[in-house]
Amino acid sequence: MPHRRLALVTGAASGLGYEVAAALAARGDRVLLADRSVERGLEAVERIRAATTGAAVEFRPLDLASLEHVRAFVELLERDEEPLHLLVNNAGILPSLQRQQTKEGFELAFGIALLGHFALTALLVPALQRAPAPRVVSVTSLVQAYARIEFDDIHARLRYEPQRAYNQSKLAVLMFALELDARARRAGFRLQSLAAHPGIARTAIGDARMNEPPRRLRDSLEVWALRAAMSLFGQSAAEGARPILHAATAPDASGGEFYGPGGFRQFKGEPRRVQPSRAALDAPARDRLWHLSEQLTGVRWPF
């Protein structure tokens, strides 16, 4: 049997992550599904195996809300000293109406989407370096265009608004993806870092928020807007995964590029290259966020 590419997808037990993992397995890649839910992760592996004969899929538990768990995950993976051809940083949450935090005290959405993936990717650099053409794809959202990084209150301890926290986390992910590619290029490291967003995809990401009792009228309006957007403009998770898969597998996709749906307002449609927000292109802010992420995670990059 020919050697299969090794791909790792975070948040792969359901939604976009599952669809990406299933599609990669169907095209012949060996896929590691990483997720905090062991039960759903094992179920996802069985579903993929049932759908694709000979699928090479495994589940590995990963809690991105704990840097200790991230380090243990990488240590276990590194025992095999295999090349990692593709890393899809997909995991994320829609924050609760009440502020929650990671094991280290970071605001939960920011801690998972950015800091957990920042540490994971850095620790996986040796595995990525063993691959001939490694790619890292970071999954962001349309809402990155409406966000800013609150450097003076990065963990929303002074002022917590769940939607603002979510928007910030998704902008931070895009900034990380662009900065990683720029730094890799300057260092002569062959890694390509890309970003993608799914448009509006019908996944379970908002279910927990929708079931929470609202604290204010604004909370009710945000839930109503989310439900309306998914109902009126949404597409399936499989369709939403297409820009991510394009960034991950297309021969003509290159580092530093950003992909999303090509339809009306990027809600859905065929994958195409899209424009990052002005905030995401702010090089000094990206550099500041990078150094802050190193400080908060205690992880240092080789470039």
The catalytic residues are 166
- H/E segment holding residue 240: helix 237-240
Asked if 258 and 199 touch (Cβ cutoff 8 Å), the reply is no
CA distance 81 to 95: 36
| Residues 15-40: b if buried by 16+ CB within 10 A, e if exposed | bbbbbbbbbbbeeebbbbbbbbeeeb
d(CA 141, CA 102) in angstroms, rounded, equals 21
End-to-end CA distance of the chain, in Å?
36
Q: Are 71 and 118 in contact (CB under 8 A)?
A: no
